[in-house]
A and B are shown apart, each in its own frame.
Chain A
Amino acid sequence: MKVTLFIPCFVDLFYPQVGAAMVRILEKLGHQVVCPEGPACCGQPAFNTGYWDESREVAIKMLEALNEAEVVVIASGSCGAMLKVFYPELFAGTPYEAQARELAPKCYEFSAFLVNKLGVTDLGARFPHKVTFHDGCHGLRELKNKRPPRELLARVQGLELIEMGEAETCCGFGGTFSAKFPMISTAMGEVKCASALDTGAEYIVSCDSSCLMHLQGLIDRQRKPLKAIHLAEILCPP
């Protein structure tokens, strides 16, 4: 299958290894991977801040770039939700509405693509550590993506998944929210980290690098014995 992989801006800049792991996994499974050069962003920051006109300037480019795609895999639950759920709302009543609606069913978050579309759960990975899983809100509630990442983790050799009490509670990132209300965002992250630490896990795993950037930032500042890691990095070690 020809898979169009969209690597969002912050993964591109801060976590290129996550994107590279996805490319390797998809190629190992025998698929042809293409990564459009532009645009680098789905337009979510402007959309969430209320600037829908400015968001559309980026999102239109995205629609054009993905127009011919057979399937689109998105390296983030949040950006995935933007393309799949929010584009139809963003473009409602515009000439691009039909195109946005056509794109939606072709979009998959990475773990959902592996499990739901390809039916793959065992990638032969090994990761002998205790981990806990953080459900990114957009992946969980907009994309209903509770099961796929857990099915993938269950097949990783040596890995022990311990669910935390606050698995489904927001980590506090929330895009521009994290800078507009940093103290609330930080408090939410602290609640999350405390819940993860309670499990005794060494790693907090997620399908969203944005949540992980926020959590790792807190963990490093507060010197907690915990590491944030993206699911793809576990499934395909460098």
Chain B
Amino acid sequence: MNTPAVQFKQDASRLSADVRHRRIIQTAMGNYEKARDQRKADFQNWEGARQLAADTKWEAIAHLDRHIEQFVQNLEARGTKVHWASTAQQARDAVLAILRDKQAKVIVKSKAMTSEEIHLNEAIEQDGYEVVESDLGEFIVQLREEPPYHIVFPAMHLTRDEIKDVFQRKLHDAPSSDPEELTMVARRVLREKYLEADVGITGANFAIAETGMLSITENEGNARLTAALPRTMITLVGIEKVLPRLEDLALFLPMLSAMGTGQTLTCYNTLYGGPRQPGEPDGPEEYHVVLLDNQRTALLADPEQRDSLRCIRCGACLNVCPIFRNVGGHTYGTTYCGPIGAVITPNLRGLDEWKHLSYASSLCGACTETCPVKINLHHHLLQNRRNSTRYKPSWWQKLAFKAFAPIANKPGLWSLVTRLGRFGQKFHGLVRGGRLDPAYAWTKTRDLPPIARQSFREWWRTRA
């Protein structure tokens, strides 16, 4: 099997040359950008809102211990069972134990990146249960047996014809490639599953410490049905999703929708506070919350990069990232793609195996510029690079930079190297653009300018 780095390079090379893929993504992102800019303009003071959001999340993270405890106490007071999971394995085990206890057969699930992170669906299916994704995009990629392409738009890489094809193949029902008709097919299938399901699993966008509530934001009403119809509800949430106060949502809900989808607010915003209380007509009989750490506390211990725990998973950094826009989400080969993925994956899953994601960036900074909670994303990529060379340097690169230092520092040597380069390039034509070309990585697709007949420094000396 290929290492993640080899797989990334292969897929990136293939997809960045795929003009059809490029067009699909560029068009979708162009539309997103227009809507996002309108929503940002709705804020009286967007930069002020960003700063407040960053400060609020900072407060939440800086006192995470206190906030999580408060959150859990409030949840437990209303009869919710809380499970603490340090690792992905513990989180999977907690969910599977509930499914066994409830003798579940069918599980419906709304969109949750944390569940992708711990590969929950695979674990559930391996234990013999049926799990159905209820978010339309997730439903489509589940049918295609692939992971979500984007953390907010899981099926954005597909055309309506491709969706029709998979419906035809898997559901034997696809009257046309009309989006509305396809949606009706999915709705018919899903409605039955909601009624059949014994357990509903959701993620959460925010966890409110003050009230012990989970905030879920969505556009299809599928999370509400996932939560309301089955007798048992499970919410899987990363510990960094905590917000101190209920009123913080007044900022974070519009901010998340503005940056995530370009909406003023998503269609459904729901707070879940526990199982059905005495006298209440509906809601699940049992409510479980699984709190996931999975290396988040290790990131919290890193003073340079702990601000990456402020992330609200809006996906805005993916949308503006020219790397993401050319290589697409699947190429990253991990749950969190784009700039935020390139920052946190090496920290969550291992620097040595995932450092290539931090190198696969031109450091343009579009991500940092757009991030609504002001995570210093592209500087963290630089720090990951530095950390990886400390941990395991590439000897030839280290040697090359060591050798370069005196050349750059000593004018005599620089001038000698300039002349050598000028002499050497006379023979470049023999190998240019071929495999023997030492500059092949450049010259395969681009011309290289010649060293000038008189360099600037040579010209400058003639003036003195």
Contact = CB atoms under 8 A, between A and B. Distances in A.
Interface stretch (B52-60, B140-148, B277-285, B442-450): B442-450
B356 to A, nearest CB: 9
A20 interface: yes
Given A51-B398, A183-B17, A177 B326 contact: no
Majority-rule SS of B interface residues: helix
A172 interface: yes
B12 interface: yes
B411 interface: yes
A49 B368 CA distance: 19
B322 A191 contact: yes
B16 A216 contact: no
A142 B376 CA distance: 12
Contact of A57 (B389, B405, B444, B460): B405
A54 interface: yes
Contact of A14 (B393, B408, B451): B451
A37 B365 contact: no
A58 B408 contact: yes
A217 B362 contact: no
B447 A174 contact: no
Interface stretch (B71-79, B103-111, B295-303, B380-388): B380-388
A128 B447 CA distance: 27
Contacts of B409: 38-39, 57-58, 61
Contacts of A17: 452
Contact of A187 (B16, B366, B402): B16
Contact of A11 (B327, B368, B456): B456
Contact of B442 (A14, A137, A179): A179
B8 to A, nearest CB: 9
Interface string B36-72: 0000000000000000000000000000000000000
Given A137-B362, A183-B16, A191 B451 contact: no
Interface residues of B, number: 62
Nearest to B433: A221
Given A170-B364, A173-B362, A52 B452 contact: no
Contact of B414 (A40, A182, A184): A40
A194 to B, nearest CB: 10
B326 A38 contact: no
A218 B456 contact: no
A150 interface: no
A181 B365 CA distance: 18
A221 B386 contact: no
B411 A37 contact: yes
B86 interface: no
Contacts of A29: none
B362 A16 contact: no
B446 A186 contact: yes
B363 A48 contact: yes
A61 B408 CA distance: 9
A19 interface: yes
A26 to B, nearest CB: 13
Contact of A177 (B360, B393, B418, B444): B360
Interface in B420-464: 421, 441-442, 444-452, 454-460
Interface in A25-50: 35, 37-41, 43, 45-50
B22 A187 contact: yes
B456 A19 contact: yes
A12 interface: yes
B362 A170 contact: yes
Interface in B363-403: 363-366, 368-369, 379, 382, 385-389, 393, 397-398, 401-402
A15 B452 CA distance: 7
A55 interface: yes
A191 B326 contact: yes
Interface of B: 9, 12-13, 16-17, 22, 26, 322-323, 325-327, 359-366, 368-369, 379, 382, 385-389, 393, 397-398, 401-402, 404-405, 407-411, 414, 418, 421, 441-442, 444-452, 454-460
24 contacts: A11-B456, A16-B452, A16-B456, A38-B414, A45-B401, A46-B405, A49-B389, A50-B386, A50-B388, A51-B397, A51-B401, A54-B402, A55-B401, A89-B379, A137-B362, A174-B361, A181-B9, A181-B360, A182-B442, A183-B17, A188-B322, A188-B326, A214-B446, A220-B447
